[in-house]
Amino acid sequence: MLADREGHVKVRANIAGEVEIRVSVGDTVVRTQAIAVVEGDHEIESLSVRKTSTVVDIHVATGEEVAEGAVLMTVLEMQ
């Protein structure tokens, strides 16, 4: 997950499965915090940010089935 020039990062699912979003737009999130979980057929992926960030947009809802590579949310990394 690399930031664009403005510091926005698109958080993507690395596996296909059912998503659970654990944050809301406007939340400040830290490196160790699970912001989303994707439960696939044989594995579970817990997603977090690499730097303290603010959630700016959520693109999917909890319970939604997503494909591998689907954008789940956009965050803005803090400097």
Domains for the chain: give ranges and CATH numbers.
Answer: 8-77 (2.40.50.100)
- What confidence score (pLDDT) does residue 10 get? 96
Which pLDDT tens digit goes with each residue over 27-63? 999 999 999 999 999 999 999 999 999 999 999 999 9
User: Distance between CA atoms of 26 and 5, rounded to whole angstroms?
Assistant: 20
- Nearest of 11, 5, 7 to residue 49 by alpha carbon: 11
pLDDT band at 3 (very low <50, low <70, confident <90, very high): confident
